[in-house]
Chains A and B, each alone.
Chain A
């Protein structure tokens, strides 16, 4: 008996390719630093991607140039999503040149995000280095929208220089709040900088949290995350409750190509957010 055509599985040719980007347009462009900007994007058709959760990333396609994995830096009203992009190659150069109304492709969201549910009821330590702040901003926004559900919130943010600090308005806002503590530090500064100078790990001793009821989320260069995680472990925060957002060369983003392999994990599929307890054995292995 022939199968009913209306209920049969679609032929492969009829399936949308998981690698096909959805058409989107740029909403707003906000210049953060000399080489970094935040783009908001919105669907150009009814084919929007799913709503991302904090910590996930999208593949942004600069038309005719190529794709780059960019963390979600804001989940906005409606279906608008923010991504913060630093000029670092052909694709990000092209993305950084986009202006409001320009077309681009988006596919995603991909990966596992930050464990916000685990953080509920606990103290939260967020440590960001450089462009590590964008993937953590949605966490902070989620926490502040439900502030009573979390304990102490400590944010430590390090950048190369004061001019490299992103989200100036947000930093001002967070600094004013009494329900979180923000420490910013830079590697080097001119005499007009009144903040701290030094690496982020130097700011940890000033952070107040109960180690056995703390969840830490770290994002930034790998060495920064490794040293920060080690410092947190020395302060008795369990390695299983310290989470790192790992970055590798994401290509397919769906766990097929292997470009983002890190030890036994494909970071696009199993990460990018993973606990230190799982990552630690591989973080000090060269060429992993």
Chain B
């Protein structure tokens, strides 16, 4: 077992899942370091990665109509970035940019999908852990729309 597979196995998203699924899921995985300001994913480009952020902070950004970037969420150590690898047409819905020096495990989206299909029971367990992250993002976006910080 590689050190990378070991790290993924201990991530909350994968901890305790069937080892065969984890083994298949890390096929093509890499560890990536990014400097402040570095673009990790570009809106509209093929979404073939799931980032497990190990350290630092990354921003989810969209282009403003008048130019420049608009940060809609920041994500830090222990959190994950990217769900478009799971949902067709598998294209990034936003830019992902490191706000400071950051490190992440980058799982290959195609390998992940194959792993989930190949191990349906464990794959379902994985989705049960992954969906709440999406729900939380949606909930937070709703709260931001409600102008939570206004008074």
Contact = CB atoms under 8 A, between A and B. Distances in A.
Interface of A: 86, 129-132, 158-160, 164, 185-191, 193-202, 206, 220-221, 223-224, 227, 247
B84 interface: no
| Interface size classification for chain B | 20 to 34
A202 B57 CA distance: 14
Contacts of B140: 198-199, 201-202
A190 B144 contact: no
A37 to B, nearest CB: 15
B25 interface: no
B147 A160 contact: yes
A197 B59 contact: yes
Contact of B148 (A158, A164, A189, A194): A158
Most A Cβ at <10 Å: residue of B69, B144, B149, B151 = B149
27 contacts: A86-B151, A129-B150, A130-B150, A132-B151, A158-B148, A160-B149, A160-B150, A164-B149, A186-B149, A188-B70, A188-B144, A189-B71, A190-B69, A190-B71, A191-B69, A191-B70, A195-B74, A196-B57, A196-B76, A197-B59, A198-B73, A198-B144, A200-B148, A220-B148, A221-B148, A221-B149, A247-B151
Contacts of B100: 194
B138 interface: no
A158 B149 contact: yes
Contacts, number: 84
A201 to B, nearest CB: 8
A223 B149 contact: no
B68 interface: yes
B134 to A, nearest CB: 15
A130 B73 contact: no
Given A86-B151, A130-B151, 16 more contacts: A129-B149, A187-B144, A190-B64, A191-B70, A194-B99, A197-B72, A198-B74, A198-B140, A198-B144, A199-B144, A199-B148, A201-B140, A201-B143, A221-B149, A221-B151, A227-B143
A181 B2 CA distance: 38
Contacts of A159: 149
A244 B100 CA distance: 35
